[in-house]
Amino acid sequence: MKNILVITSSHRKNGNSNMLAEQFIKGAVEANNVERVDLSEKQINFCRGCLACQTLKKCVINDDAALIAEKMGRADVLVFVTPIYYYSVSGLLKTMLDRANPLYGSDYSFRSVYLIATAADEDSRAVDGAVKAVQGWVDCFENAKLECVLFAGGVEAQGDVKDNIAMCKAYELGKQII
């Protein structure tokens, strides 16, 4: 049984990426402990680049990001869920990845990282910038690997993903984590 932390980063509560997150969770919860964090419901400030976290092993900014980073460090599996904005991850996710800097050089537990993304653009290359952003973060953690990217393109209006094959794929992806 793995501890999975699903981090969503859309402001649309019932948006396409959040719908995929729910399907993933339905599949994963059958054999794992799953916790979901919705960044849109949290107070997360920008990283100041002070690097105090490298000495203190925690961030000096008093907001929700510090607790989320701690949860990230304890999870076996991280799942980042994002809508694609201008061919990259959402600002919420990028800000959280920056604020997870205290994990660098720590005894983190995660080994597997997954990316679930949606975009209005149906071209499979629309996710490339998001993959690069997440892979760049993962590359800083030598024991971690970006295991899988699930992308649903051509989903612009809220709920468009409902009839997309990605819904089944998200469920199956969650189920395969054991």
pLDDT category at 178 given cuts 50, 70, 90 is confident
Q: 42: domain CATH number? A: 3.40.50.360
Integer Cα distance of 15 and 13 in angstroms: 6
Higher pLDDT, 178 or 114: 114
pTM to 2 decimals? 0.97
Q: What is the mean pLDDT of residues 141-154?
A: 97
- Confirm if 102 and 59 have CB atoms less than 8 A apart: yes
24 — phi, psi (to 5°)? -60, -45
Q: What is the mean pLDDT of residues 101-116?
A: 96
What is the residue-averaged pLDDT of the chain? 96
Q: Is pLDDT of 81 > 90?
A: yes
Split into its structural domains, the chain has a count of 1
Question: Which range of residues forms the domain containing residue 41?
Answer: 3-176
pLDDT digits (tens, 9 = 90+) for 7-60: 999 999 899 999 999 999 999 999 999 999 999 999 999 999 999 999 998 999
Q: What is the mean pLDDT of residues 167-171?
A: 98
Torsion over CA: 128, 150, 2, 39 (sign): positive
